[in-house]
Amino acid sequence: MSAIPRRTVWFEAGSVRILDQRQLPWKVEVVGLATVAEVAAAIRDMAVRGAGCIGATAGYGMVLAASEARDWAELEALAVVLKSTRPTAVNLAWAVDRQLVAIRAAGFGDRAEVAQATAEAIADEDVAACAAIGRHGLELLGALAARNPGRPLNLLTHCNAGWLAFVDIGSATAPIYAAHEAGLPVHVWVDETRPRNQGARLTAWELGARGVPHTVIADNTGGHLMQRGLVDLVITGADRVTRAGDVANKIGTYLKALAARDNGLPFYVALPSSTFDWSVEDGLAGIPIEERGPDELAWIEGLDEKGVSSRVRILPQTSGARNDAFDVTPARLVTGLICERGVCAADAAAIHALFPEKRLAAATD
């Protein structure tokens, strides 16, 4: 059992260090990844997951790639290995491509130094972006609390867009942690998030570790709580957001957005700008949705009556399962995007106004 590290991913003594999220909440274990193949496996098998954390891990993976590659062709091949591990989160490809651009600019001979500096920059910028998202989100929550004095704000979140999904602080959790630290009382409804239970296992664990009041609910429950006035605001992260504001996020996000709309509640998505895909307009048509193996639904892991980590099969042997990992919430259901530069509406014009330089880049791509 390791102590809880400050960051979820970092580079130390020649290897990428990660917190193995598959062991949580039962065990805090830091592991070292010494090769590109090990980094790719850790991303694919979800030892690390979450948009920002995947991006930063891939960034550090490129440090190993720079060390392993003897020429440009090998470096590019290793980049492909990292990029092909998971299809939906855009931060992954973004981080790898940023490394390639930086190394190309510096020249192959300087690859080790440049890759290291770029990886640290990616991680540091992720931390800074999440902190800024926290500040902007706190303003939003403060205004909402002022309209509901004398009681905690009830926030609902889906999956884990927390500290564990980034390098530090998280995206959807950033305003929550900021509010909690500022003494603004909050209570978080944590969607269990089947089939991998990232809410129950990761979000609940990290909120608990920081003392934030929270309650785990089945994914089925959020709409009912909204109907009963028990939710003030929904906030999630994102794996990819189009330049028009469509949001790919963990499967089930769309259902919560529909319920928020039906109950007149704000539905916010928090993201660093590295999560935008400037090349895509229509999320339903343009974002690839990962389909994972049916065993993630058929088997479930927990602690048995003796406290031993164990897994049980919860489907009849005669039944198959389908396991889509993400869905797309159309921009029309999103109240606003909380980015490091501020809060904007989920539409092309507002996003363009916040990131004017990016639209231009997309147009010339």
Contact positions vs its own copies (CB under 8 A): 25, 189-190, 192-195, 197, 200-201, 204-205, 207-208, 214-225, 227, 250-252, 254-256, 258-259, 262, 284, 289, 297-305, 310-316, 318-324, 326-328
C-beta separation of 209 from 242 below 8 A: no
Q: Which is nearer to its own copies, 72 or 299 (CB)?
A: 299
- Provide, rounded to whole angstroms, the least separation between the CB of residue 46 and its own copies: 16
Phi and psi at residue 172, to the nearest 5° = -65, -30
- Provide, rounded to whole angstroms, the least separation between the CB of residue 127 and its own copies: 25
Instruction: Round to whole Å and give the CA distance between 279 and 351.
Output: 13
Instruction: Round to whole Å and give the CA distance between 36 and 82.
Output: 7
Q: Map tokens 């009963």 to a residue.
A: 228
Residues annotated as part of the active site: 239
- Provide, rounded to whole angstroms, the least separation between the CB of residue 296 and its own copies: 9
231: left (phi over 0), alpha (psi -120 to 50) or beta: beta
Q: Name the DSSP class of 162.
A: B
Q: Which is nearer to its own copies, 34 or 314 (CB)?
A: 314
Q: Which is nearer to its own copies, 148 or 215 (CB)?
A: 215
- Sequence-ordered list of residues with C-beta below 8 angstroms from that of 346, at least 6 positions apart, any chain: 244, 245, 246, 247, 269, 331, 332, 334, 335, 336, 337
For the purposes of burial, counting CB atoms within 10 Å of the CB of 362, is it exposed (0-12), middle (13-18) or buried (19 or more)? middle
Q: Which is nearer to its own copies, 169 or 298 (CB)?
A: 298
The residue type of 50 is G
- Provide, rounded to whole angstroms, the least separation between the CB of residue 148 and its own copies: 20
